[in-house]
Amino acid sequence: MMKSRLYDQRVIALQRQGEFGVYSPGTGQEASIMGSAMAVDPARDWMVPQYRELMATVHHGLPLEVITAQYLGKIGPARIPDGVNVLPTQVSIAAQLPHATGLAWGLRLRGQDSVVIAYIGDGGSSEGDFHEALNLAGVVKAPIVFFLQNNQWAISTSRRVQSATRSFALRAAGYGLEGAEVDGNDVMAVYDVTSEAVARARGGGGPSLIEAVTYRMGFHNTTDNPSRYQDPKEYDEARSRDPIERVQKYLAALGLWDANREAALTDELREENDRALQLARSAAAPRPEDVFANVYQDPPPRLVRQRAELLDGHDA
Ligand SMILES: Cc1ncc(C[n+]2csc(CCOP(=O)(O)OP(=O)(O)O)c2C)c(N)n1
Ligand SMILES: [Mg+2]
């Protein structure tokens, strides 16, 4: 959780300096992100992210330098390594979910005991893809856990006007899924509820929808300015429920945490994050002609011509 928070702080500064791409921090949602990631097994389960779960994908085996390369625009080094059971981040809202259901169903048809965890936001739950994916998952009993992070915002659209439902978890019933609402700022509760849903899916008991109720303690992404639409009182109130401070207080009460340990871990994690950043920085930059690569096995003649013109130095 601390590694996620520290990475957010580091790369937001780099984005402001022009080095990093548009970035959506997980700040405030670390219990939700890490509690859910810890409940799946990187060796056999698959993770299907939206875009705000970066450290969950790292926990699931995606090297931090690989995902960092993506934000530096290095498309080759950003390729997900073979053997890492993580799908690429998805910015087209909810478009990851039909794929996630298909992936889970396919794993089951192959006789594997793997489970898929797929992330979605409160805003994403209003998309058609969300409903289609949940419906099919229920019908075929796909081994999948839909993990909905309700961070109260979809950019500037408040949860209050996102849906008339009083709980997103209730939507599970309409598709024959198990539904659960959990305090998304309580890492242990998130871990427990997600573990239960994963065990049920693995045992053939079918899919679940978990709503983790949390709060986006920052901007939507680095292009956003929430002071234009967010009540500062609501933000302050959310800060008083910081999920990292909460677990630190709990550990301190058990005698397992203090200021020295925090300082030592902070240094260690900053170094880990910096190492990943250095590796991503030293990775090969894309060449202009790479824009034509990795889409078609046999590119259409128009693209072949444009690529040749580019290499010739002509304007396409
Ligand atoms: C299909 C589609 N529509 C609109 C957008 C623009 N958009 C980007 S993020 C976002 C809000 C998503 O909110 P939510 O699902 O709650 O996720 P959060 O960003 O809060 O984690 C929207 C509308 C998009 N990327 N894709
Ligand atoms: Mg949201």
Over the stretch 9-33, which tens digit does the pLDDT of each residue have?
A: 999 999 999 999 999 999 999 999 9
pLDDT value at residue 69: 96
pLDDT value at residue 314: 64
CA distances from residue 148 to 164, 185, 244, 271 in whole angstroms, order as listed: 16, 13, 20, 31
The predicted-structure confidence for 219-260, as pLDDT tens digits, reads as follows 999 999 999 999 999 999 999 999 999 999 999 999 999 999
d(CA 198, CA 178): 11
Where do the structural domains in the chain lie, given as residue ranges?
Answer: 2-285, 288-316
pLDDT value at residue 313: 83
CB 150 within 8 A of CB 181: no
Tokens of residue 147, six digits: 């993990």
| Model-wide pTM > 0.85 | yes
How high does pLDDT run on average in the chain? Answer: 96
- Among 91, 93, 129, say which to mutate for ligand 1: greatest number of ligand atoms within 8 Å of CB: 93
Q: Is 217 exposed, middle or buried (0-12, 13-18, 19+ CB in 10 A)?
A: buried
Q: Which residue type is seen at 18?
A: G
The residues annotated as belonging to the active site are 216, 220, 229
> Is the model's pLDDT at 316 over the cut of 80?
no
Mean of the pLDDT values across residues 65-94?
95
The predicted-structure confidence for 48-65, as pLDDT tens digits, reads as follows 999 999 999 999 999 999
Mean of the pLDDT values across residues 293-298?
90
d(CA 216, CA 297): 41
Cα-to-chain-centroid distance, residue 187: 16
Q: Is the CB of 23 under 6 A from ligand 1?
A: no
Percent of the chain with pLDDT over 70: 99
pLDDT band at residue 75, thresholds of 50, 70 and 90? confident
Q: 2-16 and 64-71 are packed helices; what angle lies between their axes, rounded to 10 degrees?
A: 20
Tokens of residue 129, six digits: 């893809």
Task: Kindly report the CATH class assigned to 2-285.
Answer: alpha beta
> Is the model's pLDDT at 171 over the cut of 70?
yes
Residues with CB under 5 A from ligand 2 (ion): 121-123, 151, 154
Q: Phi, psi at residue 199, to the nearest 5°?
A: -60, -40
CA distances from residue 171 to 126, 134, 156, 201 in whole angstroms, order as listed: 11, 9, 23, 18
pLDDT value at residue 21: 94
Percent of the chain with pLDDT over 90: 97
Q: Is the CB of 124 under 6 A from ligand 1?
A: yes
The predicted-structure confidence for 178-230, as pLDDT tens digits, reads as follows 999 999 999 999 999 999 999 999 999 999 999 999 999 999 999 999 999 99
